[in-house]
Copies of this chain bind each other. A is one copy, B any other.
Amino acid sequence: MWTFDNPPTKLLQERYHFTPTREWLDHVRLSSVRLNDGGSGSFVSPHGLLLTNHHVARGQLQKNSTAEKDFIKDGFYAATPGEEMKSPDLEVNVLVSMENVTGRVMGAIKKGASDQDALSARKAITAQIERESTQSTGFRSDVVSLYQGGEYWLYRYKKYTDVRLVFAPEQQIAFFGGDPDNFTYPRHDLDMAIFRVYENGKPIESRNYLKWNAKGAAENELVFVSGHPGSTQRQDTMAQLGRERDVFEPTILSLLKNRIDTLKAYSALGPEQARQSTTLIFGLENSQKAYLGRLRGLLDKNLINKKQKDENAFRALVMAKPEWRTSYGNAWDDIARAENKATPMVKPQIFHRVDSQLFNTALSLVQYVAEVKKPDGERLRGFHESQLESLRYRLLSPAPVYPGLEEARMAGGLEESRRQLGANDPFLMAVLNGRTPAQTAKDLSAGTKLADPNVRKALLEGGKAAIDASTDPMIVAARKVDPLSREMTKWMEDNVESVETQAGEKIGKARFLVYGKGAYPDATFTLRLSYGAATGYPMNGTKAPYKTTFYGLYDRASSFDFTGPFYLPSRYMEGRSKLDLSTPLDFVSSTDIIGGNSGSPVINRNAELVGLIFDGNIESLAGDFAYEGETNRAVAVHSAAMIEALRKLYNAGTLADELQGTGQAGSH
């Protein structure tokens, strides 16, 4: 998970006799995109075609679907430009520049400042850098903390919001095998979707796209993944991992279980309810399986013993040198104390939530009108000047809202919060206001007008006065929750975040001094380059192959008699004889990825697209805490499978031609 300013050139040369040039790196970076729905993607044609996963595109498919037309179930293909379908609230970012601003950020913190003062100063300078950059360049500008604060970088993004769907297959083939097969391998999914990015009403034209290589990667071939891993905790101290394992993970797993149970009950009410809730359930089950895998990793004695050994060795080296000891030696104990302090707050933090799309919108509106009045550097996270445009885009989304779904989620979530926190919890008292969870959910979902984007717009534009005057029950509840939420944020900043940021920075600096910069920083949903080989691994007593084929898809479906999550869309049942079943379908590589990498391109040393990352295997789930190369594998759709399916099953030869740079591409 290397940053593009510091690729592992030495390792690559040693292991693969390949050194990426600056042009290679720039081209790959500018061909890679981040999506605000939480995934990655890449440009794959000179006319703005953007390849990502079905499960990344899924939110937009859900928002464009209705009771009559279900794009999740049936898929979508725009055979002509005019049919391409606008996404309600998708934003695409391309990393156009990176600037090291470590000196400026660190220079803003006074020597000897308290942890709290340092945090404020850091927030202020960060907001200032971002604001100045946005104003001077027009680009979305983020200051990113890397190496636990060992470095700060200003990342500038070109932003696109006119993103139209060109192709998505049926959900059942994109996610064949469902929750059981999720995070496993061998796998048989066509988890792909293709958008086209527009600017000023026209498809963008660019040289920065990845050429398609339908041969894919040979076994053991060097491949790269360029994408946006969301977050890892590989540099966390043992104290942090301990709280993660003992407190945080079990608590979040209770929350997820409750939400899944709630939604499954709602889904069982009828086909329309099932349609409305399917993407939420998918996301929650995905999280549940991921958290269970993380927890398994944290409970793995080998993994934990190794991390403890590494930490002991690192600390011993720091303590052995008097000036290091003085400057950095206390960082681990500081973190341990902060973790102890944070422990009792985990439950309230996690259960002080109202599981409702509109409630969260309401809270954002209430906070928005207050925050924008403050100096940029003093605002809550997410409300800085440079972030407002994307925030407004999201808050004013025209995506549909389902009151029945809202009510069910709120009722189930508030019940669980009450079970977990007791009825006297101040947050619950504020939200429930003497009512039962069910009644509260009913009142809020029935009474609110926030489903209408114009109502939200009026409140946003009306500012604090409009918010204060609103009698919308969601706004009323959000106004009550707001001070409690701010109080919690402040407490966490003062007692935990400020301490751990300072201590983390010390550890980050110490790591540079002790080990040099021969490592990559933890993932931060910023662009990274991973490398590895297309290669199988030992599995369950035998070998997992480096690739699967369409044969395997039909085998797995037949093996389960086409039941449960193993049925095939009719297109696949009827179209079988059109396919060359030996075509590779999915494949694995030892590239290091994590959630957020979904949709990332897999490329070869010629920067050609050979695959599309969509998952990790079950062994990869401990990757949040450590990368273990023997069995950790990234799972990708094979470039050949996408072409085979488009041409033979979807009558999408035109699209395949554009991807492959053959035929009459360029007609757009």
Contact = CB atoms under 8 A, between A and B. Distances in A.
Interface of A: 177, 180-181, 183-184, 186, 219, 289, 293, 539-543, 545-549, 551-552, 554-556, 558-561, 566, 581-582, 617-618
B559 A581 contact: no
8 contacts: A177-B542, A180-B542, A540-B540, A545-B559, A549-B558, A551-B551, A551-B554, A555-B555
A302 to B, nearest CB: 14
Given A183-B541, A542-B177, A559 B548 contact: yes
A237 B3 CA distance: 58
Contacts of A186: 559
A619 B568 CA distance: 30
Contacts of A183: 541
Given A541-B618, A551-B558, 18 more contacts: A183-B541, A186-B559, A219-B561, A289-B541, A540-B618, A542-B618, A545-B556, A545-B560, A548-B555, A549-B555, A549-B558, A551-B552, A551-B555, A552-B552, A552-B555, A552-B559, A554-B581, A558-B582
Given A548-B555, A561-B219, A542 B581 contact: no
* Max chain B C-beta neighbours (<10 A), residue from A293, A540, A582: A540
A1 B542 CA distance: 27
A563 to B, nearest CB: 8
Contacts of A551: 551-552, 554-555, 558, 581
A555 B582 CA distance: 7
A634 to B, nearest CB: 15
A181 B542 contact: yes
| Interface residue SS majority, chain A | mixed
Nearest to A565: B543
Contacts of A177: 542
A539 to B, nearest CB: 6
A333 to B, nearest CB: 34
The oligomer's copy count stands at 2
A551 B549 CA distance: 10
A157 B542 CA distance: 39
A540 B184 contact: yes
A204 B559 CA distance: 38
A119 to B, nearest CB: 40
A179 to B, nearest CB: 9
Please list the 5 inter-chain residue pairs (A to B) with the smallest Cβ-Cβ separation, ordered nearest first: A541-B618, A545-B559, A551-B555, A552-B555, A184-B541
Nearest to A563: B219
A180 B582 CA distance: 22
A502 B186 CA distance: 52
Contacts of A582: 554, 558
Nearest to A566: B545
A183 B540 CA distance: 10
Contacts of A561: 219
Contacts of A549: 554-555, 558-559
A394 to B, nearest CB: 34
A666 to B, nearest CB: 35
* Max chain B C-beta neighbours (<10 A), residue from A177, A293, A546, A561: A561
Nearest to A582: B558
* Max chain B C-beta neighbours (<10 A), residue from A289, A293, A581: A581
Contacts of A552: 551-552, 555-556, 559
Contacts of A293: 541
Contacts of A560: 543, 545
Contacts of A219: 561
A8 B405 CA distance: 51
A539 B186 CA distance: 12
A582 B559 CA distance: 8
Nearest to A581: B554
A295 to B, nearest CB: 13
